[in-house]
Structure formats: structure tokens, C-alpha cells
């Protein structure tokens, strides 16, 4: 028993969630992030927790961390100067990629330049057959030639991705051994070790993304570990993973591709916890931080998972929580283009200098500055008193844009909000098409520093009738990392026809996956007896080009009967596409296994209930806000003063240390038993 701490470091703030195992009490904090000095924000946050709450580092028994350092390196193209070794005559794998363009509706759409340009891709002589058997052994002379070319190109590392290595990694490992012999200490990564999936481009691009950020992530994690030791925390650091689980920091240093989406996944795990607690069957999470706005779907309290999520311009083909970036964050900069059109983002003010109203040297207007002008922000402490809002500076920055647009400053501020929401609307349209959903049937769960501020605007645009704002929305990603289960994914490419002859091979494969998974769990937690295992398979009708991830029961595979396996696929195919073909042959392209072990969760504690028949909370004051093209007198509430059962109507502003909630006219809110704010669109 002790204190469990979750930290999520974003572009503007580092968020802390502290859970007391004994009492279930949750404490939170925000401090400015320091991209220029990794780990320093943790030192500063722990010092503030010690001063404010008396939290001693020696009492910390569990520490987990979510980060966007890998994503940022790819998006900003600030990763390793990487080389790529392929099978000779397959050097164009990254340039050829897939036929589809990034924007199917634009004739001028272009695919992004690969992370490894063609001049740093080197072919070697070797060849495996499609079944993994050797055709041509590795020619050492060709590898030595590639090594010399790597040196001349100034490469800082290399990824080895050879044909059919998902079947047999021997040739990749042989090439790696030669490179490491000739270049001691040189970073070398094999695609078969990163994620051994079928299809050359998907496997190669995933390995390249991992190699591109690996040294930077490893350095970052090492710096953070040293900072923890300096702070006095002796607990082994965990890092959140793209699949919504956690693993040790040491594992993250060598397998960072599994944690590249850790920051965004943590938020969805936290949102899923709140959705389950609130009984929301269909929920859309909206995470708006300082740089981006991200959405995810949560069904029955469980996040949705997928492969092929985008990291900037590139897809990464590992299992991950399905999160899509749909727009800008609170620090996104507003600007007017050469045609006099107002634009918002994608550039962000970050944490330094940050929005103009922070008074840290920013000069360019952001969405946050717009909300200061609208009267929503600046009525109470912000960011746990780390920010003093400069109203005049925000008005000057928005006023400069208003002058270019030839409108008044308030109309300009609201236009900035409207433009950002319209971009989110367009982004959600892609999600709607991908999953075949109607957003009007979903509740909205906003979080992040700017999520509750924009939630009513977003819900109104999509026709969503219910919004649920958690008790600590500004630090929900930190809480998500804190409560994430220990979890890992395993894959085995099989490429078998589903028949009685291959069922024994499937049984051997699933036993091997299970053994590997349990070994991994014992290394992470010291025990696998309480772990749960889920099995699925990528299946298709023979002749189809792509597969469906089909949930299976391990007992079906070990039972010696193909019928339940085939029926599971037929059922899933019919659910997705409306038809089944029971006469067609079925293929099992890959087996997947997920192992997980639960971590302690905070116990929901009901808040104080309102007494008597008067359910209207007493506002802390009345403020002047600009909403819907007009000024309104809005009630200002302190979140800590609200009690269960109370109701309120917009326009209103609800202030708390970690964020501000803006309630538009036409929305009615109530406080549920656990302190969540539930808003309904009534007109």
C-alpha cells in the first residue's frame, strides 16, 4: 500500500494524478511542460506536491508515465538519420508504399516523403521463399558494401527489413550481426523483432517509425528515470503503451514502437473508466490539449482498438487504442492567410511561450486567447495558479486579427472558435464513415485542458444531446495511465487454410504465443496467475485481399474442430458487410493474443448531496460573456462548490483548477452522484 502516481506530459502542461491506495483519495496537479529539459517538470511537480500535500517520494510505490515524445519526433521529422537495408531489388518499398493517396478527393494530393529517403536505402543479396525456407543465403560482401554506404551517407542507425522475414527472421539477424560487428555501438533494428506481420510495406514502415524515434525515446526515458532518482522515488517507472496498457520503462527503451501513442491512449483509458462509472453505453471521448483535438469511441465502457493508426503522415501497424486527431488544441495559433481568410493551426504556441494571455512572451493569438476575450477564461485561477491571465494582451492579439478581418474583437474571437470547431466537424466525418456510426446516438465525454471549454460548441455542431464532464477532466490522461492494466500483444503470421490438417499447427502456434505472453507477464509483474488472455485471428475468405480481426476462444483452437472457428468468422463478416459465404474456403492469416493483468482502480466516492427542494447552486458571481453573437450575463460557478443533484442552465462558466467548462445557452446541466457534470441540449 502506498501512493500511485500517473504523469502525462503534453505540449503545454505536465499533468499529475496521485492515488492513495489506502483511502482511494485522488489528488491532481498541473505544471508547465519542458520539452527542452525532459524530466525537469517531474522534479518541479513532485516538489509542489510535497509542499502542497505533504507527499513524500519514499511513499510512492508505483509511477507510470505517458508521453508524446515519439509522436512529436515523427510529426516534426526530428528523429534519427536512418538507413534501411532491404532485399536487393526491393529498395523502393517505402516510395511505392500503397496506391491510395492521402486525400482521395484532391487531384493535387501527394504522398509524404518517406522518413528514409531512397538514397539511404541499400539492397543486399539474399532471399527467403514465401514459406520462410532459404533460397539464397545472405551474401556477406553485399552487406559489407551496404555498411560502407551507410557510413558515407552519415547514417546514425539502420533498420533491416528483408523479404518474408515475418516467416523466418534468420536472414535479418545475420545481417544485423554483420553490421554490429563492423560498426560497434551502431543502432540496428530488425523488422521481424519489431512487429512480424505479413505485407512488406506495412512491416517495413512500422519498423522504420520505431527505429526513427528509438534513440530519442530511450534517451528521454533514461533522463526521466534519473530525475525520479534525484527526486527520491525508488519505484520502477512504467510507461503507458499504444494499446492502453503499461510496460516497464526498460522495455520501452528497446521496444518504443509499442508506446509511440502512449499519451493519447492514456486519455482514452481514463475516459473509458469514467464512461463505465457513469453507465454510458455509447460514448465519444474528446481530448483537447494544447496542440491537438483527438476523439475515440467507447462502447460499453471499453475503448475500441485497431491497427493502422496515423502518426503524423504515416500509418503504424501495431494494435493500439483507436484514436483519431480531428483538429486543433487550445494553444493552436489563429492567423489570416493571403486571401483574408481566418485559419486556426496547425502550429501551436506550446508551453513556451504559450498563448499570449499566459504572459510568457507569446505574441500570436490562440484559441485560449479567444476564450479570454469571450469572457470565459480569466475569472479564477488557471492551471493550479501557474498561470496569471493577461486580459489586455489577449485583447490586443485578437484585435490585430480583427483588424485584418474588418470585424470587432469579440466577433473575431468567436470566429476563431467556430473555425476550430468546423475543422473538428470535418475530422469526425471521417470517423463516422470509418465505423458507420451516428454521433447523435453517442454521449460526448470531453477532457484535456481545453475539452470542456469547447464541448458545447462541438456537441451542438454534431447534434449530440448529452455531454458528461468528468470531475478532473484536465488531468484525465494522467489518471488513465495510472489505472491502465499491464498489457501486451503478440502476433504469429500463419497463412493457413482453415481445415482439419492445419488445425494442429494452429494449436501449436497458439500454445507458443500463450507461453511467450506468460513469460512476458512474469517479467513485468513477477506473476502470471491472475492474467487474462484473449485470442483472435485475422481471417478472410480465400481470395480476399484483406482480413477481419475475429475474436476466438482458445478452447476452439485446441478442441480439434474447425466448425466454431469458421462460424465465428462468418458471423463477424456478416456483421460488418451484411452477408456470409459458408461454401467458401476460410484462411487464417495471423493469430493474435493479448495478455493483461488488472491494476488497482480508484473507488468511486459519492460527493455531498444537495439538501431540500432547491436544486439550484449558488453562483460565485455573475460575469459578462460573448456567446452566439451577443453578450450575456452568465453565472460563474466553482466546481468544488457544486453538490450532487444540483442543476444549472447556460449560459454559465464552471471554473476549477485544471480546466474551465463553458456552458452555452440552450444546455441544461446536473451534477450526478459522483460529481460528474451531465449536460443536455434542450433547445
pLDDT tens string 222-278? 888 888 888 888 888 888 888 888 888 888 888 888 888 887 888 899 999 999 988
- Do residues 490 and 255 make contact, with C-beta atoms less than 8 angstroms apart? no
Q: Specify the pLDDT at position 38.
A: 65
State how far the Cα of 343 lies from the Cα of 356, in Å rounded to an integer.
17
pLDDT of 587 strictly over 70: yes
- Judged by average pLDDT, the poorest of 31-35, 134-138, 312-316, 505-509 is 31-35
- Do residues 624 and 652 make contact, with C-beta atoms less than 8 angstroms apart? no
Cis peptide before 546 (omega within 30 of 0): no
Q: Specify the pLDDT at position 68.
A: 76
Q: Specify the pLDDT at position 35.
A: 67
Environment class of 525 (CB within 10 Å of its CB; exposed 0-12, middle 13-18, buried 19+)? middle
What is the C-alpha end-to-end distance of the chain, expressed in Å? 49
Average pLDDT over residues 604-631: 88
Q: Specify the pLDDT at position 123.
A: 97
Query: Which residues pair with residue 311 across a beta bridge?
Result: 314
Q: Specify the pLDDT at position 210.
A: 92
pLDDT of 286 strictly over 60: yes
Q: Specify the pLDDT at position 414.
A: 96
Average pLDDT over residues 628-654: 94
Q: Specify the pLDDT at position 550.
A: 94
- Return phi, psi of residue 385, to 5°: 65, 15
Q: Specify the pLDDT at position 176.
A: 97
Dump pLDDT digits (tens) for 359-389: 888 899 999 999 999 999 988 777 667 778 8
Burial call 630-656: b when 16+ CB within 10 Å, e when fewer? eebebbbbebeebebbbebebbbbbbb
Average pLDDT over residues 527-535: 92
Q: Specify the pLDDT at position 614.
A: 67
Q: Specify the pLDDT at position 100.
A: 75
Dump pLDDT digits (tens) for 651-666: 999 999 888 999 999 9
| Secondary structure element (H or E) that encloses residue 561, with its range | none
pLDDT band at 354 (very low <50, low <70, confident <90, very high): confident
Q: Specify the pLDDT at position 21.
A: 78
- Do residues 352 and 359 make contact, with C-beta atoms less than 8 angstroms apart? no
pLDDT of 124 strictly over 70: yes
Determine the length of the chain: 683
Nearest to 377 by CA among 80, 471, 387, 184: 387
pLDDT of 345 strictly over 60: yes
pLDDT of 619 strictly over 70: yes
The answer to pTM > 0.95 is no
What are 128's three cell numbers? Answer: 527467403
pLDDT of 428 strictly over 70: yes
**DSSP three-state, residue 299:** strand
- Judged by average pLDDT, the poorest of 222-231, 306-315, 328-337 is 306-315
Q: Which of 302-306, 455-459, 617-621 has the highest mean pLDDT?
A: 455-459
Average pLDDT over residues 426-453: 86
pLDDT of 554 strictly over 90: yes
Q: Specify the pLDDT at position 1.
A: 54
Helix, strand, coil content of the chain in percent (nearest 5): 35, 30, 35
- Do residues 426 and 267 make contact, with C-beta atoms less than 8 angstroms apart? no
Quote the percentage of the chain above a pLDDT of 90: 53
Q: Specify the pLDDT at position 40.
A: 79
Average pLDDT over residues 378-407: 88
pLDDT of 133 strictly over 70: yes
| Secondary structure element (H or E) that encloses residue 170, with its range | helix 170-182
pLDDT band at 69 (very low <50, low <70, confident <90, very high): confident
| Region at 626 (left for phi over 0; alpha for psi -120 to 50; beta for the rest) | beta
Q: Specify the pLDDT at position 433.
A: 73
What are 491's three cell numbers? Answer: 502476433
Q: Specify the pLDDT at position 349.
A: 84
pLDDT of 152 strictly over 70: yes
Q: Specify the pLDDT at position 328.
A: 80
pLDDT band at 214 (very low <50, low <70, confident <90, very high): confident
Amino acid at each position: 500500500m502506498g501512493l500511485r502516481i500517473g504523469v502525462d506530459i503534453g505540449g503545454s502542461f505536465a499533468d499529475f494524478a496521485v492515488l492513495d491506495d489506502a483511502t482511494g483519495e485522488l489528488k491532481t496537479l498541473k505544471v508547465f511542460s519542458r520539452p527542452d529539459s525532459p524530466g525537469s517538470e517531474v522534479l518541479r511537480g513532485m516538489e509542489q506536491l510535497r509542499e502542497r500535500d505533504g507527499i513524500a517520494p519514499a511513499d510512492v510505490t508505483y509511477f507510470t508515465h505517458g508521453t508524446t515524445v515519439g509522436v512529436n519526433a515523427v510529426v516534426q521529422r526530428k528523429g534519427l538519420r536512418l538507413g534501411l537495408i532491404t532485399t536487393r531489388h526491393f529498395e523502393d518499398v517505402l516510395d511505392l508504399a500503397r496506391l491510395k493517396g492521402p486525400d482521395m478527393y484532391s487531384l493535387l494530393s501527394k504522398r509524404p516523403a518517406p522518413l528514409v529517403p531512397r538514397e539511404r536505402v541499400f539492397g543486399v543479396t539474399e532471399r527467403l521463399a514465401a514459406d520462410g525456407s532459404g533460397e539464397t543465403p545472405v551474401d556477406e560482401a553485399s552487406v559489407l558494401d551496404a555498411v560502407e554506404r551507410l557510413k558515407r551517407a552519415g547514417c546514425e542507425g539502420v533498420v533491416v527489413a528483408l523479404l518474408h522475414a515475418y516467416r523466418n527472421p534468420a536472414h535479418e539477424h545475420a545481417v544485423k550481426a554483420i553490421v554490429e560487428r563492423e560498426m560497434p555501438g551502431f543502432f540496428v533494428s530488425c523488422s521481424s523483432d519489431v512487429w512480424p506481420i505479413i505485407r512488406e510495406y506495412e512491416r517495413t514502415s512500422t519498423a522504420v517509425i520505431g527505429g526513427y524515434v528509438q534513440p530519442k525515446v530511450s534517451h528521454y526515458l533514461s533522463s526521466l528515470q534519473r530525475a525520479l532518482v534525484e527526486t527520491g522515488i525508488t519505484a520502477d517507472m512504467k510507461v503507458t503503451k499504444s494499446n492502453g496498457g503499461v510496460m516497464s520503462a526498460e522495455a520501452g527503451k528497446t521496444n518504443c514502437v509499442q508506446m509511440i501513442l502512449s499519451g493519447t491512449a492514456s486519455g482514452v483509458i481514463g475516459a473509458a473508466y469514467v464512461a463505465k462509472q457513469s453507465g454510458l453505453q455509447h460514448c465519444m471521448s474528446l481530448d483537447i490539449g494544447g496542440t491537438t483535438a483527438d476523439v475515440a469511441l467507447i462502447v460499453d465502457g471499453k475503448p475500441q482498438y485497431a491497427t493502422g493508426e496515423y502518426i503524423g503522415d504515416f500509418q503504424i501497424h501495431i494494435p493500439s487504442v483507436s484514436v483519431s486527431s480531428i483538429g486543433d488544441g487550445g494553444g493552436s495559433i489563429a492567423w489570416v492567410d493571403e486571401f483574408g481568410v481566418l485559419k486556426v493551426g496547425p502550429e501551436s504556441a506550446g508551453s513556451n511561450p504559450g498563448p499570449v494571455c499566459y504572459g510568457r512572451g507569446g505574441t500570436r493569438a490562440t484559441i485560449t486567447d479567444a476564450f479570454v476575450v469571450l469572457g470565459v477564461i480569466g475569472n479564477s485561477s488557471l492551471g493550479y495558479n501557474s498561470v496569471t491571465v493577461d486580459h489586455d494582451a489577449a485583447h490586443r492579439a485578437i484585435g490585430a486579427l480583427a483588424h485584418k478581418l474588418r470585424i470587432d474583437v469579440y466577433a473575431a474571437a468567436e470566429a476563431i472558435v467556430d473555425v476550430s470547431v468546423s475543422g473538428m466537424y470535418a475530422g469526425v466525418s471521417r470517423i463516422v464513415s470509418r465505423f458507420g456510426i451516428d454521433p447523435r446516438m453517442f454521449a460526448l465525454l470531453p477532457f484535456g485542458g481545453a475539452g470542456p471549454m469547447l464541448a458545447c460548441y462541438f456537441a451542438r455542431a454534431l447534434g449530440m444531446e448529452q455531454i458528461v464532464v468528468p470531475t478532473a477532466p484536465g488531468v484525465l490522461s494522467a489518471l488513465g495511465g495510472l489505472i491502465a492494466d499491464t498489457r501486451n500483444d503478440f502476433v504469429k503470421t500463419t497463412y493457413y487454410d482453415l481445415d482439419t490438417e492445419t488445425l494442429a499447427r494452429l494449436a501449436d502456434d497458439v500454445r507458443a504465443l500463450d507461453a511467450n505472453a506468460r513469460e512476458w507477464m512474469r517479467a513485468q509483474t513477477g506473476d502470471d496467475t491472475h492474467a487474462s488472455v484473449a485470442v483472435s485471428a485475422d481471417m478472410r475468405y480465400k481470395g480476399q485481399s484483406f482480413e477481419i480481426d475475429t475474436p476466438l476462444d482458445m478452447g476452439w483452437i485446441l478442441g480439434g474442430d474447425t466448425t466454431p472457428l469458421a462460424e465465428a468468422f462468418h458471423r463477424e463478416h456478416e456483421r460488418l458487410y451484411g452477408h456470409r459465404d459458408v461454401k467458401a474456403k476460410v484462411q487464417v492469416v495471423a493469430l493474435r493474443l493479448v495478455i493483461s493483468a488488472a491494476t488497482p482502480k480508484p473507488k468511486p466516492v459519492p460527493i455531498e448531496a444537495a439538501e431540500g427542494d432547491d436544486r439550484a447552486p449558488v453562483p460565485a458571481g455573475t460575469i459578462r460573456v460573448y456567446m452566439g453573437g451577443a453578450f450575456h450575463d452568465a453565472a460563474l460557478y466553482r466546481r468544488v462548490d457544486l453538490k450532487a443533484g444540483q442543476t444549472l442552465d447556460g449560459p454559465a462558466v464552471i471554473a476549477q483548477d485544471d480546466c474551465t467548462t463553458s456552458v452555452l445557452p440552450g444546455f441544461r446541466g446536473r451534477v450526478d452522484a459522483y460529481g460528474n457534470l451531465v449536460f443536455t441540449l434542450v433547445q
